[in-house]
Amino acid sequence: MTEHALSNIEQLETDLWAAADNLRANSKLTSSEYCMPVLGVIFLRHATNRYDAAAAQIAAEQVAGKMPKRALVKGDFLKRRALLLPKEARYDELLELPKDANLGTAIVKAMDAIERDFEPLQGQLPKDYDKFENYLLEDLLRVFDSETLRTASGDVFGRIYEYFLMKFAMQGAQDNGEFFTPPSLVQTIVNRLMSRCDAQGHSYGTG
């Protein structure tokens, strides 16, 4: 990674944290209440990026005759290190919900749908979005919907996860006088999602 690219990522981390933490400051949530829901939103952005990239690759292969045109299955996405996300779990679908929709309920349903379809993540994703006001969730979703993040790689998201965990730990130390160490979605993604995608992709195959 070049010095310029590293500087850009560091600035992105700083800007994202400032925006997300400003939303927390304007709410009644503590850092410990805010941490996992925020990491969950980042996870949805990351998972949607991977889904979109895999879907585009599959479409190109079908056009080129390298893959038959047929209904897609989980294995088609797993072998490309992505999840076949249900429609209700895709980031853009959440952003396009009607203004009067309950975003907290919608995000919980998105997490449930992902866990239902991908066993290694069962019981791992945050579900406590009911404590958020609708406007706060909408603003939070938009924080992680910049043009840069829509095309960001897994390496960039890994950096963002780690940066946010560090900042939450520092904030927790200030709030409670001790370090706050939340469950790490970084480990969930790296150890459970990506490694299982490789293994299950081979077992599912592409047929």
User: pLDDT tens digits for 176-194?
Assistant: 655 445 544 545 554 544 4
Query: What's the CA gap between 136 and 200, in Å, rounded?
Result: 37
Pick the CATH number of 3-204 from 3.40.710.10, 1.20.1260.30, 1.10.10.10, 1.10.287.610: 1.20.1260.30
pTM: 0.82
Q: Residue 146 carries which DSSP code?
A: -
Query: Could you state, in order of their start, the residue ranges of all structural domains in the chain?
Result: 3-204
134 burial class (0-12, 13-18, 19+ CB within 10 angstroms)?
middle
Q: Which residue ranges of the chain lie beneath pLDDT 70?
A: 1-7, 172-207
Which pLDDT score is estimated for 30?
82
Query: What's the CA gap between 77 and 90, in Å, rounded?
Result: 14
Which pLDDT score is estimated for 92?
96
User: pLDDT tens digits for 70-112?
Assistant: 999 999 998 898 999 999 999 999 999 998 999 999 999 999 9
